[in-house]
Homo-oligomer: A and B are copies of this chain.
Amino acid sequence: MRVSQTNLAGDLLLHLGHPSDGALHERLKRALRNAIRNGHIEVGTALPPSRQLATDLGCSRWAVTEAYSQLIAEGYLEAQTGSATRVCWSNTSDADSQHLTPRHAPAARFDLAPGLPDLRAFPRRRWAEAVRTQVTTAAFTEFGYPPPGGHIRLRQLLAEYLGRSRGVSATPQDVTVCMSVTDGVRRICRALRADGITAVGCEEPGWTRLREVIRAAGLDPVPIRTDSGGLRTDDLAAHTGLRAVLTAPAHQFPLGSVLAPERRAALLHWARQVDGVVLEDDYDAEFRYDRRPVATVQGMDPSRVVLFKSLSKILSPALGIGWIVAPPHWTNHLHQADQTASQPPPLDQLAFAALLESGAYDRHLRACRKRYRNRRDAVVQALAEQLPHAPISGIAAGLHLILRLPATLDTAAVVTAAAARSLRVADLTTYHATNDHADHGLVLGYGNLADNAVTEAVRQLHQAIQDSR
């Protein structure tokens, strides 16, 4: 059945799924993408203006513009200044790869969405050599099933390394190897639920995917405000019965604040009072440019904190290597409830362990820090030249910054105009769980932006802002 513009909203409503399947803009994007891929919407069809579709669906306009702009970036839709957004992908072939990929280039020319390190800088030869050494020299028993919790060698080296570099207090058996922070949070959420915990406080704004993982595990994500001092720990006590909170003390996403010293103490005080647990996402802790790195909250009270970290922004998300540091109670839960939990390949665990042990990992980190600091300086300078009146913040650390836009400007329209220029940027609103805020701005990730593309990307952003006025 073909869907025209007039019955699009009805068709989408049928396929939106449940809130437990994820955030509305994600579900809307999937429903729209499927309708296009299944041929329900013809090529060339003009989609209704975002304001109209939002009214028809009874949702916020940004959910619609976010879905539109992601599908523009993926090549399913085409946006032209002053004209309607149109479907530009058709499913004509039968059994080849065109089924799976849009007809147009799926990746934006300039990808400033946050969340990736510089993929060009992956230490290919060093990693290939580390893997080769392990694969050719390991005992044959290493090719069997890894023990629950991960390879003991890596757990030992991580416990040492994290103690030295992040102030973490852990024995090897407190370390569980997992595949990503998302994977780690998903697993701990199952353990929390089995233990009778029903809700997890989440930074507002915060990393959307982790909120979705919490919700998918059957727990209720409770928004807790953040400000320039990080999580508003004074808000925690207001939520009676709350016993778990997820926070990124080293570098709040997306605002970039560091948890203030008195709030670190208040956080742990709260956790002890409610017999609760702090889930510490040690986000971007390594990439602090202008001051010394902040140690983990975990080190202040290992009995009350579960720490999560992965290599996704240090080496590559493609490695699928992360870790959880947890007190025995939660570690036992993790291992007993989930004996068959997936792990990164044990030979890769050994390869990473070898990089930790030889110091190659530390050298890589130092090189990254220098690279990203220089790139941050270049981005800040280009923004100052092209957009001198737009305030920027969150530049002391990490791989992204916040560009504030005036409230008179429609941020969602800027994102869509940018996508039409093959520039992918994220609306700060996307990271809010509620509409109860006045955050107008963009999150600009520069981790995976080529050095020689900085000036042109910022120029295109400037143009996109002009387009959207």
Q: A residues bordering B, Cβ < 8 Å?
A: 17, 21-22, 26, 30, 34, 94-97, 99-101, 107, 116, 119-120, 122, 124-125, 127-129, 131-132, 135-136, 140-146, 149, 152, 155-156, 159, 171-173, 179-180, 182-183, 186, 209, 212-213, 316-320, 332, 336-337, 339-340, 342-348, 448
Known: A152-B101, A172-B100. A336 touches B30 (CB 8 A): yes
Contact A128 B131 (CB under 8 A): yes
Q: Give the docked Cα–Cα distance between A124 and B22 (Å).
A: 41
Q: Give the docked Cα–Cα distance between A84 and B357 (Å).
A: 44
Q: A120 contacts which chain B residues (CB < 8 A)?
A: 140
Contact B99 A171 (CB under 8 A): yes
Contact A320 B340 (CB under 8 A): no
Contact B179 A342 (CB under 8 A): yes
- 27 A/B residue pairs, CB under 8 Å, sorted by A: A21-B337, A22-B339, A26-B339, A30-B336, A96-B172, A97-B156, A99-B173, A100-B155, A100-B172, A101-B152, A107-B141, A122-B143, A124-B135, A125-B136, A129-B132, A131-B132, A131-B135, A143-B317, A143-B318, A146-B318, A180-B340, A180-B342, A212-B340, A318-B345, A318-B347, A320-B345, A342-B342
Which of B143, B156, B213, B339 makes the CB contact (< 8 A) with A340?
B213
Known: A97-B156, A172-B97. A336 touches B183 (CB 8 A): no
Which of B17, B100, B319 makes the CB contact (< 8 A) with A345?
B319
Known: A344-B345, A347-B318. A128 touches B119 (CB 8 A): no
Known: A95-B172, A131-B135, A152-B101. A317 touches B21 (CB 8 A): no
Residue of B nearest to A117 (CB): B143
Which of B122, B136, B337 makes the CB contact (< 8 A) with A124?
B136
Count the copies: 2
Residue of B nearest to A351 (CB): B131
Q: A131 contacts which chain B residues (CB < 8 A)?
A: 128, 131-132, 135
Contact B144 A116 (CB under 8 A): yes
Q: A318 contacts which chain B residues (CB < 8 A)?
A: 142-146, 345-347
Residue of B nearest to A95 (CB): B171
> Chain A binding site: helix, strand, loop or mixed by DSSP?
helix
Q: A101 contacts which chain B residues (CB < 8 A)?
A: 152
Q: How far is the CB of A318 from chain B (nearest CB, A)?
A: 5
Q: How far is the CB of A337 from chain B (nearest CB, A)?
A: 6
Contact A342 B122 (CB under 8 A): no
Contact B173 A144 (CB under 8 A): no
Q: How far is the CB of A462 from chain B (nearest CB, A)?
A: 26
Contact B145 A135 (CB under 8 A): no
Contact A316 B124 (CB under 8 A): no
Q: A159 contacts which chain B residues (CB < 8 A)?
A: 95
Q: Give the docked Cα–Cα distance between A34 and B135 (Å).
A: 33
Q: How far is the CB of A21 from chain B (nearest CB, A)?
A: 6
Residue of B nearest to A126 (CB): B135
Q: Give the docked Cα–Cα distance between A101 and B156 (Å).
A: 12
Residue of B nearest to A26 (CB): B339
Q: How far is the CB of A315 from chain B (nearest CB, A)?
A: 8
Q: A140 contacts which chain B residues (CB < 8 A)?
A: 119-120, 122
Q: A145 contacts which chain B residues (CB < 8 A)?
A: 116, 317-318
Which of B95, B119, B124, B346 makes the CB contact (< 8 A) with A141?
B119
Q: How far is the CB of A27 from chain B (nearest CB, A)?
A: 8
Residue of B nearest to A123 (CB): B135
Q: Give the docked Cα–Cα distance between A127 and B316 (Å).
A: 21
Known: A319-B345, A342-B183. A132 touches B128 (CB 8 A): yes
Q: A119 contacts which chain B residues (CB < 8 A)?
A: 140-141, 143-144
